[in-house]
Structure 1
Amino acid sequence: MKNLFLFLVIFCSISVVAQEKPTLYLIGDSTMSDKKDPEKNPEHGWGQMLPELMTSDINIQNHAVNGRSTRSFIAEGWWEEVKDQLKPEDFVFIQFGHNDQKVNDPARYTNPFTQYRSNLEKFVRETREKGATPILFSSIVRRNFNENGVLVDTHGLYPLVVRMLAKDLNVPFIDLQLLTERLEIMYGPQNSKQLHLHLEPGEDPYEPKGVADDTHLSKMGATLVASLALQEIAEQDLELKKYIKEKVLFQKILKEVPVSLGGYSEKVPWRRALKQHKEWYGSKEAQRIADNVLLYQHTNGGWYKNIDMSNELSPKEKDSLRNLQNKEMGTTIDNGATHTQLKYLARVYKATGKEDYKMAFLEGVDYLLEAQYSNGGWPQFYPLKKGYYGHITYNDGAMIGVMNLLRDIAQNEEPYSFVDAFRKNKAEKAVEKGLKIILATQVEVDGKLTVWGAQHDKKTLKPAKARAYELASLSGKESAEIVRYLMEIENPSEAVKRSVRSAIQWFEDAKVTGKRVEWIKDPSLPEGRDRIVVEDPAGGPLWGRFTEIGTNRPMFIGRDGVVKYNLDEIEHERRINYSYIDNYAEDLLKVDYPKWEQKHK
């Protein structure tokens, strides 16, 4: 009996050991790390995708941490936590570099040939001392294409040091810099945005201002990078190969350029039509959309608003649009209408040389020139409609959008070099008149220039009311756009300089600090979410979309037209569908204005 009992104990012990799975540990920075609350955060680390691409026969523990370099990862105790858990059957992925190169941060910076290499050696040596297997990775590239469409390196000597160290210490090495460089180039300057965090304003409720991040990865980008890493592991026939799912091994990620990219056949939504690579505008898809743009153009040269020009149209729908071209339905510059279509047509004409696009463009320019008031302003709708539509309209970038287009035409910028000299001259005069009305409508309070309203009365030039929830006020959002326009003037007059400096001072005086805007989930509400303003000592700066003249208090106005001073006092529908307070001028104050002042002081 004793022998039988001893046999069972030994057998069970062996079974437990045999069943214990190896663990893959990941150490690195944000490009590899897991992200909390992926529903709110569109950013993904490539290590985050590994559990979906590897079998359940291996455990995966992602210890990569946002913002860490080799120095800070060690100093903050993250490495000790991993090292203490290592077992002989385990593996460690090691990828650092993005933050080691931050030369102005003593807590993170490391010299590539000294401290950086030494820290990597420490990771490798101490992993091997535990009997585990280290694997070194070079950093993924940033999406950094120059004006010629060439991908330019941003990592300097750090990837080279990893390559040299891997060779010197005989450590398996995955050259993610090379693999992701090929991936970015394959997708190209425009389509590679899909690999990263590029969101238009309003595309994500938790990023209302949009995102333009060329370092971190989208879910699609993270999945592709993780797949490339695993394929290279299989290519090198490393032991980890047996834990990779077969579907990953048979993907041809870098061997076949997708037809949608090489042939430019993918469907492009209208909101991204002006964000494509130059070559795309000569494609069939670009011309299909341009043909739609022609169908939607009114005979007076303008367009209606809020129409997706990229929709597939049936023959019947095309006939209906042709019948509507002569009817008065409200051509406008609101919500990007008309000036956006013109920018698009100019690009397609330059790429194709098709006269129909050129003629439609010129007719649209004539429409904008005719719509301008004698005092220099533009109404929201032309021909004029009764009501607030006749106000001089800065709201939603209406007038500034027109001014930017006409200024580019007047200055012979591409793709507008085909415009005749007569229209260029008229565009130049229109821009001059527009500048005069911008300066004339800047609101003065107690003898001091401040900023602008969303719309101004065409006669009195004072801020004017539009809809019930758009009362006469000073506008943080629209004023920031106007100031940026003024700062782009090459040789500004003293009046323009005074205007810019006065507006900047108002932004300083009117900013709200100690608060931040936050989206929250609330299943009890329509759409299951809400937008709130919360106290936060580090929050701000924020500005009101509608700011009370004289007090600079942000106003929150619902459809009842009653002024409130807290966002939660107006109806839920307005809170989630209209931006009342945001950091409209933060970059203006921190980045743009200091550069402008340095140039013109």
Structure 2
Amino acid sequence: MRKKVIGKLLIAILFLLVFGLIARNSMANKANDKHSHKNHITVYLAGDSTVADYLSSSAPRAGWGQGFNRFFDDRIVVRNMAKSGRSSKSFIDEGRLDSILKQIDKGDYLFIQFGHNDEIKKDPTRFTEPNGSYKSYLKQYIDGARAKQALPVLVTPVERRSFSKDGTALDSHGEYPAAMKELGLEEHVPVIDLTAKSKQLFQELGPEETREVFMWLDAGKEKNYPDGIQDNVHFQQAGAELISRLVLEGVKELKLVPLQNHIIK
């Protein structure tokens, strides 16, 4: 009888030891997962077709956000949530900002570039007034990010390929870039002036060389565009990389720490 009692006690003690070890390992794994998460910063990109990712069936078309992660070490994760055809308004109305805000975490970044489609007056689902509703919608991105203790960054819209007869690069976004910069000052949000940076680049390259930046393709050159294309808005892959490097230049100029500390090229 005594041996049976001792045996049962030993089994109970062994069970408690094993259970305790499992519980401790489970807690340690959770702690490690949490620690691992803190070791990563996610950069979310909200924008339009000039930022978005594209499938191989659209190659060589690419947005500047496509492959943006290659400029950073493995502590940075880039999630490109940009979508073709969207404005600051329609992106929100379709629930795309809400989707980002459900995922974004403390210390993450939200890069915001809109303007191209906000300018389409004939489309009330996308149009915004530069010094009115445009700024109001952009403020929703800022407030949403800050509510999650994330860091908003405004990016003025990249220029279109537009030149005067004498080869001077022209402004193509009206009052929208200035409105965004003004909002940045009002809300104390860093602004990357991609409008000015891209205009300067296009001026340096000139009307002919910028065709290599944008989707200007001769008929028969690319299988996805057998009839050729002349597109002054969207980029070829090499052009998209040039634009993404301008954004990266802005990160450095603004000293966006800690993001800047993880740039590798």
TM over 0.5: yes
What are the within-5 Å matches in structure 2 for residues 419-568 of structure 1?
A: none
- Which residue identity is paired with 1:88? K
Q: State the partner residue of 1:81.
A: 99
Q: State the partner residue of 2:164.
A: 146
8 A Cα contact 1:86 1:127, kept in partner: yes
Q: State the partner residue of 1:18.
A: 35
- Which residue identity is paired with 2:33? V
1:8 CA displacement: 5.0
1:68 maps to which of 55, 77, 86:
86
1:226 aligns with 2:244: yes
What are the within-5 Å matches in structure 2 for residues 217-366 of structure 1?
A: 217-239=235-257, 240-245=259-264, 247=265
- Tell me the number of residue pairs that the alignment of Structure 1 and Structure 2 aligns: 245
**1:143-190: CA deviations, max 9, x gaps?**
101101111111000000110111111111111011111111111121
1:92 aligns with 2:110: yes
C-alpha separation between the residues in 2 aligned to 1:149 and 1:17? Answer: 55
C-alpha separation between the residues in 2 aligned to 1:147 and 1:242? Answer: 43
1:51 CA displacement: 2.3
8 A Cα contact 1:100 1:116, kept in partner: yes
C-alpha separation between the residues in 1 aligned to 2:83 and 2:23? Answer: 46
- Which residue identity is paired with 1:26? L
1:210 aligns with 2:228: yes
- Which residue identity is paired with 1:105? D
Q: State the partner residue of 1:35.
A: 54
- Which residue identity is paired with 1:107? T
1:125 CA displacement: 0.3
Pair member with larger Rg: 1
Q: State the partner residue of 1:194.
A: 212
25-34 or 56-65: bigger deviation: 56-65
1:156 aligns with 2:174: yes
Q: State the partner residue of 1:54.
A: 72
1:205 CA displacement: 2.2
Larger RCO (CA under 8 A, 6+ residues apart): 2
2:142 maps to which of 124, 133, 151:
124
**1:90-124: CA deviations, max 9, x gaps?**
11110000000001111110111111100000100
2:63 maps to which of 29, 45, 48:
45
1:53 CA displacement: 2.0
1:6 CA displacement: 7.1
Q: State the partner residue of 1:181.
A: 199
CA-based RMSD of the aligned residues comes to 1.8
8 A Cα contact 1:49 1:222, kept in partner: no
C-alpha separation between the residues in 1 aligned to 2:86 and 2:66? Answer: 17
8 A Cα contact 1:96 1:138, kept in partner: yes
Q: State the partner residue of 1:313.
A: none
1:54 CA displacement: 2.1
Q: State the partner residue of 1:488.
A: none
C-alpha separation between the residues in 1 aligned to 2:20 and 2:228? Answer: 71
- Which residue identity is paired with 1:34? D
**1:19-67: CA deviations, max 9, x gaps?**
1122111111000000122x54321100002022222222211110000
C-alpha separation between the residues in 2 aligned to 1:88 and 1:51? Answer: 19
C-alpha separation between the residues in 2 aligned to 1:243 and 1:174? Answer: 18
Give me the identity figure in percent: 33
C-alpha separation between the residues in 1 aligned to 2:90 and 2:32? Answer: 40
**Structure 2 residue runs without a partner (length 5+):** 1-16
- TM-score of the superposition, structure 2-length normalised? 0.87
**1:350-404: CA deviations, max 9, x gaps?**
xxxxxxxxxxxxxxxxxxxxxxxxxxxxxxxxxxxxxxxxxxxxxxxxxxxxxxx
Find the residue that maps to 2:43 and give its secondary structure.
strand
**1:410-468: CA deviations, max 9, x gaps?**
xxxxxxxxxxxxxxxxxxxxxxxxxxxxxxxxxxxxxxxxxxxxxxxxxxxxxxxxxxx
1:242 CA displacement: 2.2
- TM-score of the superposition, structure 1-length normalised? 0.39
Find the residue that maps to 1:46 and give its secondary structure.
coil
8 A Cα contact 2:156 2:177, kept in partner: yes
C-alpha separation between the residues in 2 aligned to 1:181 and 1:163? Answer: 16
**1:554-591: CA deviations, max 9, x gaps?**
xxxxxxxxxxxxxxxxxxxxxxxxxxxxxxxxxxxxxx
Find the residue that maps to 2:117 and give its secondary structure.
coil
Find the residue that maps to 2:65 and give its secondary structure.
helix
**1:253-276: CA deviations, max 9, x gaps?**
xxxxxxxxxxxxxxxxxxxxxxxx
C-alpha separation between the residues in 2 aligned to 1:214 and 1:17? Answer: 45
Find the residue that maps to 1:235 and give its secondary structure.
helix
8 A Cα contact 2:130 2:175, kept in partner: yes
